[in-house]
Structure 1
């Protein structure tokens, strides 16, 4: 049997058996589709510009360069795949782990699985849907990327350019942002999320999880940044050197938030209907209690901000 051959498409891997991932997988790897299959060791170059032109990588420790393929299914382990060309494509990582995907200049969508994966974004916009495996994402220098961590450990680097949206997962997520982009958006997951935006110079937005649960520790940058908090989260956020805005929303349940480095240049606001119930200066600083029971501690502030 040849290490690289064409075969008919096969069945759906278990982790792509529902939702959009299933629809996307079936559009490329259905039984009537001819698939380029790589099952041997070594380095391969696949050039196929026809549609559809899916490639299935079944072997482990394989290096593959793709040009023109619009779908990639990786079922091996420790594979390195580099996508060339500007055509959009979708990648399905169903392997045993330690796979590396280098995206190209085309728009890409990546579905991760239970195996660990490293994704290095190219010049094209990249969307990643994490799963139970550990995920390492490195953003490109100019691409606009959208990344959702799954239930495994995730490390995300937004890159130095482009407008990125990075969303934490249900376990532990570390998000690093840098550069001068003014539209980066980092959202905490329902687990533990650490966000380091200390090297950013443009205004960005950091938010607690919309569901109102999770633990967040965040450092803002030197731009005019916005923090959106509220819910039952436990948050510690370090303000930056810019004029920051701290906005609090409510889902009807109390949270506990601490703001470090709050100064006269910063502003704090609340959604309509959310009011200040009490305020007192203690050993930790000015403690504001909201009508939903949330407490906001302005660490180091030795006076009441609102009274």
Structure 2
């Protein structure tokens, strides 16, 4: 069973007014859209900025309109509005397009949580075609995904493939990890940003979580980066403070430390569904607890890039082998 424990040391700062100031700006629009995701991934390294001097961002979760999604999928003006039915409830908004050869079901559960289900009525395309179609839709919706993605095969569910994509801004990965501050009922939830494409019997489903647009920036001249060792120690300290578990006694696995630069959520904006993102680290250390089992565990955490401060940590079982996880790159495709 997965054990997930999230602890944030910002609880004492909940009533402190944000110290960040931003220059308001509109969402950037692209003047030219690449027709192939492979071409876009090849230029990511050139477009990426130096993370240590990257802007601090104010981001707002996007509210996708059904017409926007259908335009992106079929092409603008190439679908019939009369074929769309709508059904709203307190929990979600459902719009279904019942076309000649497929249905497109669009479900939004609050701002930032979107599901798009494509069901074919006749012949179902191969998995590779469906995956590419899903990636093309993400691109058409101006959702910028990283070159790296994950493929997992769910052995317990008919060997269905699930592809996970990470979002980026200015060439820097946006954290897919989320965490909460405060107690139940009066806490603040920070959601990670990501997208998945899941293969289904008659089609596929896209899930998009908190894809956001930049609405403000604060220039940062430079950051003094802490070392990987200091970042790991910050996670160890959080584990000890939260669980009273000495991490070194859990048998850390040599050469398994992962430290990745990301934009991480660090504060709320003034308006609803706005979040402050700053440069930080995702830190992960594999461990081998002495509990008699063969199951590996890991500690992970989101750490400030300039000081050994852990916003949140997780202790969890590593399930990668159970789901036949493959770490892939779009640019490696032929």
TM-score, length-normalised on structure 1? 0.25
Larger RCO, structures 1/2 (Cα 8 Å, 6+ apart): 2
**Structure with a larger share of its residues in helix:** 2
**Structure with a larger share of its residues in strand:** 1
Which is higher, the Rg of structure 1 or of structure 2?
A: 1
